[in-house]
Amino acid sequence: MQKKNEHKTICSYCGVGCGIVVEQDSKGNISVEGDPDYPVNKGMLCSKGKNLNYVAQDTSDRILYPEMRWSRNHPLQRVSWDTALDRAAAVFKSIIEKHGPDSVGFYVSGQCLTEEYYLVNKLTKGFIGTNNIDTNSRLCMSSAVVGYKKMLGEDSVPISYDDIELSDCFLVAGANPAWCHPILFRRIENHKENNPNVKIIVVDPRKTQTCATADLHLQILPGTDVILFNAMARWLIEKKKIDKNFIKKHTVNFDAVKESAFQLSMKKAAELCGIPLEDIKKAAMYIGNANAFISMWTMGLNQSVIGVSKNVALMNLSLLTGQIGKPGAGPFSLTGQPNAMGGREVGGMASLLAAHRELGNPKHRKEVSDFWGGKEIKSEPGYTATEMFDALESGKMKAVWIICTNPIVSMPNVHKAEKALKNANFVVVQDISHNSETTKYADLLLPAAGWLEKEGTMTNSERRISYLPKVIDAPGEALPDAEILWRFAQKMGYHGFDYKNASEVYDEHCLLTKGTEIDISGLSYERLKNEGSFQWPVPHATHKGTPRLFTDYQFFTNDKKSHFNAPYTLYNKSELTNSEYPLILNTGRVRDQWHTRTKTGKVKRLLTHIPDPYLEMNKVDAYLRKIKDGDIAVVKSRRGTVRVKVKVNFDIREKVVFLPMHWGKVLNNDFGRANNLTNDLVDPVSKEPDFKYCAVEVTKY
Ligand code: SF4
């Protein structure tokens, strides 16, 4: 039973979405532990979650009151909330009047709560009259969104974490869940320990911690994933390990995928992927022989100039084997951020519309604009993340409002983002911490409430919606993001923003989902508080939620079938290596840090694992460059340089190097910031950037 000073909430970091019990003692000190009753983590927490109490209680870095400057030559000065939001409204109105609504935009975050995401969308698309609202989820999830829509009709993760214990084969591709989704991976490890026959296949150019549990590690050459998945598809078809009945009754386009899979021989595919042919066959055999097969993936597939092709090529394997809509089976995209899924539900991207409606569909646009009672919604997508920064740099966009994200560390080819913010007429940064490098570019800095300081909801990777209560007061004058947004909308003179609390925003969002495939009109705050978390859809007030989708094989497409998709290319379209830049840089996460370290960077315990940025390099490549373990090296790409300490091993493929993405400018301008190097090429459909393939050279410093 919950004690009086105990509060149940959700971890603010990754998309696993673990339940946490927060306890406050009589002096106000906070302690956290895993919620033993929460179905996701059953009491477990990883190192990041376990140390959230330090993040919540250390307010030394917090932005405490609104700060504003009248011109770039002036320092930021403390102002009242009214002055800050009056100025923001005056500047936005004047820019919109002069240059049109597409000259402004909002850049938000997969860490925003659903209510905040909902409001910023309503404000931008429904009232300002532009679709320029995008999110850092574009940098991590958008290729999976497009993949799901193409294959299943909507952006719909079909399975649950509870399917893990029902599966006997996992293909983990382009992901290191042992470090990046630790509690989810702990469940896989436990399952394997209890059932040694369960097969785990890992596809990664690096031998990561995830490989320690794997039966088979396919150490792939970066960029060749489509060729690998097609080769597996070919083997499954040739060996008659496909589910003909499922394909016939519940799919379309099988022939197109077959044709794509047969373009290359297995031998040629193995050669191009740099993987032994027998290993590809063995992996395909594990999948073909499985009773229940789950594929899991994250950024290694999504963050690519061919990210959508990689997604569909992988998902084709689930359709070929009929491994969807049944226990322990399905393609499972693991979300990086805690509420990337919630953001997508409210249409929180430049190319989406609320409740999985289509921006390109006039009926859908009218439904939403009638519901909001604002302007007609435009049919053309707004600027996506990288396009937004390009538009700021070129002057097409004049003002940007950045919420809960730190693009000065996280954007690809980050010098462009710096130029863009310098060039913008007006930059609003709404955040909790001065540790964010982006705050330095703010003309208006707004203090936001953080974790435990506001209420709202989030949806984790398995469609599970949970309620997060307000437990403590925000420091200084910080306000919940939702309140900042509705106060601003009121200053703009827009009607329909006279909310009194987050609950009213949530109710409005739920009503807008009614009758859609993600209907949560039966899920109130009261139910979430009293009955716990639910997986959507939850279409009526006694509905128990939906752990698994498509159990009736009725997919969300117009014809109700699942759609095979031939990848639009087999071959990687990233920038080319050459004699000047012969190595491929891959970027990613480390175990104890989160995003750009504004929170985890201030917890001493989390610095003991990996305290500084480093470059992982194969011993052969290091030897050829006379670099030893621990040396400082300069990494150079066509866009910039980074100085960093080198870790030498045989765990990473030759000709591939790895840099963590977390560090910004430390010590010196070029020390450790991976995105000095990365390129801003994007997938042509998902517009997700290509963080995983950038041509570099490394020399000893
Ligand atoms: Fe938080 Fe993710 Fe760790 Fe769970 S696995 S405690 S959600 S960071």
pLDDT tens-place string over residues 514-548: 999 999 999 999 999 999 999 999 999 999 999 99
Q: Is residue 673 part of a domain?
A: yes
Query: Are the C-beta atoms of 625 and 552 separated by less than 8 Å?
Result: no
Query: Are the C-beta atoms of 587 and 674 separated by less than 8 Å?
Result: yes
For the segment 422-426, the average pLDDT, to the nearest whole number, is 97
Ligand 1 atom having least distance to the Cα of 20: 6
| Least trusted range by pLDDT, from 2-6, 206-210, 532-536 | 2-6
171 forms bridges with which residues in the sheet?
A: 201, 295
Ligand 1 atom having least distance to the Cα of 460: 7
What is the extent of the structural domain holding 375? 67-138+343-498
Q: Is residue 563 part of a domain?
A: no
Q: Is residue 597 part of a domain?
A: yes
Cα angle, residue 143 at apex, residues 173 and 465 outer, rounded to 5°: 85
For the segment 50-66, the average pLDDT, to the nearest whole number, is 96
Substitution site in 10, 12, 13, 339 for ligand 1 pocket (most atoms within 8 Å of beta carbon): 13
Instruction: Give the model's pLDDT for residue 669.
Output: 57
Strand order in the sheet with 6-10: 6-10, 19-24, 30-34
Give 430-489 pLDDT, tens digit per residue: 999 999 999 999 999 999 999 999 999 999 999 999 999 999 999 999 999 999 999 999
Q: Do residues 613 and 686 both lie within one domain? A: yes
Percentage of the chain surpassing pLDDT 70?
99
Pocket of ligand 1 (CB under 6 A): 11, 13-14, 16-18, 41, 45-46, 48-49, 181-183
Query: Are the C-beta atoms of 96 and 128 separated by less than 8 Å?
Result: yes
Query: Are the C-beta atoms of 252 and 219 separated by less than 8 Å?
Result: no
For the segment 201-222, the average pLDDT, to the nearest whole number, is 98
For the segment 664-672, the average pLDDT, to the nearest whole number, is 65
Grade residue 26 by pLDDT with cuts at 50, 70 and 90: confident
Q: Give the three-state DSSP class for 293.
A: strand
Query: Are the C-beta atoms of 168 and 329 separated by less than 8 Å?
Result: no
Cα 509 to Cα 512: distance, rounded to the nearest angstrom = 5
- φ, ψ at 521 (rounded to 5°): -65, -10
Return mean pLDDT, the chain.
Answer: 96
Q: Do residues 464 and 330 both lie within one domain? A: no
How remote is the CA of residue 10 from the centroid of ligand 1, in Å?
9
Ligand 1 atom having least distance to the Cα of 183: 5
Range with the largest mean pLDDT of 211-220, 587-596, 602-611: 211-220
Q: Minimal CA–CA distance to 500: which of 511, 489, 513, 487? A: 487
- Using the 3D structure, point to which of 474, 498, 522 is the last residue of a domain: 498
Q: Do residues 633 and 674 both lie within one domain? A: yes
User: Does the pLDDT at position 417 exceed 90?
Assistant: yes
Q: Do residues 369 and 293 both lie within one domain? A: no
Q: What is the CATH number of the domain that holds 476?
A: 3.40.50.740
Instruction: Give the model's pLDDT for residue 5.
Output: 86
Q: Is residue 547 part of a domain?
A: no
- Using the 3D structure, point to which of 317, 334, 351 is the last residue of a domain: 334
Cα 565 to Cα 152: distance, rounded to the nearest angstrom = 10
Residue 27 makes CB contacts below 8 A (sequence gap 6+) with: none
Q: Do residues 624 and 691 both lie within one domain? A: yes
Instruction: Give the model's pLDDT for residue 2.
Output: 63
Q: Do residues 238 and 258 both lie within one domain? A: yes
Instruction: Give the model's pLDDT for residue 671.
Output: 73
Q: Minimal CA–CA distance to 151: which of 550, 568, 570, 564? A: 564
Q: Minimal CA–CA distance to 411: which of 678, 684, 222, 613? A: 678
- Using the 3D structure, point to which of 283, 301, 334 is the last residue of a domain: 334
Q: Do residues 404 and 391 both lie within one domain? A: yes
Q: Give the three-state DSSP class for 564.
A: coil
Q: Whose CA is nearest to atom 3 of ligand 1?
A: 46
**E strand residue ranges, 578-680:** 583-588, 614-618, 632-637, 641-649, 656-660
Q: What is the CATH number of the domain that holds 38?
A: 3.30.200.210
Instruction: Give the model's pLDDT for residue 1.
Output: 58
Q: Do residues 353 and 493 both lie within one domain? A: yes
Q: What is the CATH number of the domain that holds 605?
A: 2.40.40.20
Q: Is residue 509 part of a domain?
A: no
Cα angle, residue 269 at apex, residues 266 and 271 outer, rounded to 5°: 110
Q: Please give the DSSP secondary-structure letter assigned to residue 630.
A: T
Q: Do residues 169 and 238 both lie within one domain? A: yes
Ligand 1 atom having least distance to the Cα of 594: 8
Cα angle, residue 451 at apex, residues 11 and 357 outer, rounded to 5°: 75
How remote is the CA of residue 15 from the centroid of ligand 1, in Å?
7
Indicate yes or no: pTM above 0.90.
yes
Instruction: Give the model's pLDDT for residue 667.
Output: 47
Q: Is residue 546 part of a domain?
A: no
Ligand 1 atom having least distance to the Cα of 12: 1
Q: What is the CATH number of the domain that holds 164?
A: 3.40.228.10
How remote is the CA of residue 492 from the centroid of ligand 1, in Å?
38
Cα 148 to Cα 201: distance, rounded to the nearest angstrom = 22
For the segment 591-607, the average pLDDT, to the nearest whole number, is 92
Q: Do residues 190 and 106 both lie within one domain? A: no
Instruction: Give the model's pLDDT for residue 162.
Output: 98
How remote is the CA of residue 163 from the centroid of ligand 1, in Å?
19
Grade residue 4 by pLDDT with cuts at 50, 70 and 90: low
Q: Which token pair is 489?
A: 């909308």
Query: Are the C-beta atoms of 103 and 396 separated by less than 8 Å?
Result: yes
Residue 504 makes CB contacts below 8 A (sequence gap 6+) with: none
Exposure letters 173-206 (e unless 16+ CB within 10 A, then b)? bbbbbbbbbbbbbbbbbebbeeeeebbbbbbbbb
- φ, ψ at 137 (rounded to 5°): -65, -25
Give 92-133 pLDDT, tens digit per residue: 999 999 999 999 999 999 999 999 999 999 999 999 999 999
Q: Do residues 74 and 179 both lie within one domain? A: no
For the segment 191-199, the average pLDDT, to the nearest whole number, is 98
Q: Do residues 187 and 280 both lie within one domain? A: yes
Instruction: Give the model's pLDDT for residue 487.
Output: 98
The count of structural domains within the chain is: 4
